[in-house]
Structure 1
């Protein structure tokens, strides 16, 4: 981060004290940090704290111009490589969403052309308020990035989503944002991950071993390279990455609806989710009691999401599928690619203990219509994701050239 300028906006919330650690960590990693505080923020932590940490004067007053040769909010807006607002309150998010610049922070946000990252922190009900969520979605559509707040006990006494992510997570996100290639900037990326659950009765369901780790790694890589990422996530014990729109689903039917509602706006779709192929024909309202003899469970097919996406695929759109196999990877993967009209398919042998479900490593084979493009050795899933996304980037450019020809 040496030579990079981060403007840190601190809003008035109890989590403002964590911004001091964010500022300190950014400085230690080599960033030049300039802090702007709202008047409300100064009620929680003093400007002197940030001045000592950043070695720069902290700006709190829109009309205080210490340097007559430069207008402060324009100077900082132009200098920023990344503009981080942490904690971001509903007040500031709402002002920016409505084009209001009535203090130093919002005025500078209105003037910057740098990538803006909001890290919201507020009461659980305030964060869930439809008005706040509408404003967040609107800003996302305009290219602003958001770090998903964490869940847990809040200062107000409630427990739920609304905690500021840990400072190390925020700093890591900013660092990767500054270091990454931006080859997916402005593109709408739809990723599915995890398993689905098909209900048998109130206490039982059919599912599979997928944890969602591979899909989350791909979503992170796309995010870090500029993509506006929506992650449709099946049930998992894992915390999803920050900076994504998260849509949680339960069943294959839920995932079908979530994907089809969004596919038309997606520039690229990556279907890593292990969606159930079958579901019970009938679901019992009450727990099925144990009886003598066997139990017969009749199953029916679930919607083939990837097949329908292939049929709907528009010129230029990129569609990537996954094939989890235990034998004949090449044959099954290429058959899937052709049948479902995919641009790329990624196959892995899930019978291998270190490259299957619920582990941190993977080894994959990537195919297009011409055959095998690449085979990775055993790597971390994040490194595998980087390889996959590199091939997606190449294929995306090719699709654009073909659609314009």
Structure 2
């Protein structure tokens, strides 16, 4: 029988030893230089032209979607939006390394992963406009996507709650004997939540096949990383919990793809968790409610624009003979027109009946919720000018 005495695994010393952060050097995997060429000792991952094109096209599409929807929010057409500008490679290239059967649990900046799996422009719009075609029935804020068929768990606002949920879901996958894992995305700010520590510890102890994918983009809203923690990023925490750990250049699509491929194989073959820390940068504001000029400089942003993951991959694809400049311009324009068309169509669709606020929870609506609903209806009938979109839906 295995010796369960934890002291049996501990070495001894007879002098005071102070273990410092600097004693552990966690390297960052980087395959592509900013100019798109391979590092001398780098090994290009096994990636087909078809997959590379799909990764690139999805990154371009996501950037177009972000630009259009920020504009729509500024025009008052939607209430809220979160862009992933600068972080597209971390999200899209990691999603490309997964199986379609793998579960994705997202934080809120992973629209690129959903787009890679086939979520349509019209589906994005229906959710953000909370119309009758929105599967959430208008009960979620914009960008809280979810799709059962695409194995993409619905997003929720509380920060970090998806981390222990991912451990539990992956444990269920293992117990059911499924040939699938769970990937859980979050930012370095969410790693300060208690759920991060509970989730990693649970996954390590129960040997859950889960990838914890941290987008370390430098800021938790306005708080820079150096004011969040004193340790060596998030990767060092994985080692502390006994989790296999990889640090990767999050602006290098090939490195992200290779790291996630390797992590998935480890998680599946060894039934264990893997932590990936993707070092990247949020070029956009945290959300449409944020103004980054108040806490960082334009010079800082410009240094990271030179590391744009989309440009880096385009340069690599040109060297491979896989990139056509004119075709790419047409792709971008086509994406812009598709987003604009879907946006106009979605905002014309009626919103959900107000009764949907209390439906789908109980088999019969309880009296107190029914009473609140009637009070709300009365309020809307009394002030219809304040509810131009709902006044016609209230009976």
TM (norm. structure 2) is 0.30
More strand by share: 1
TM (norm. structure 1) is 0.30
More helix by share: 2
> Which of structures 1 and 2 has the larger relative contact order (alpha carbons within 8 angstroms, sep 6+)?
2
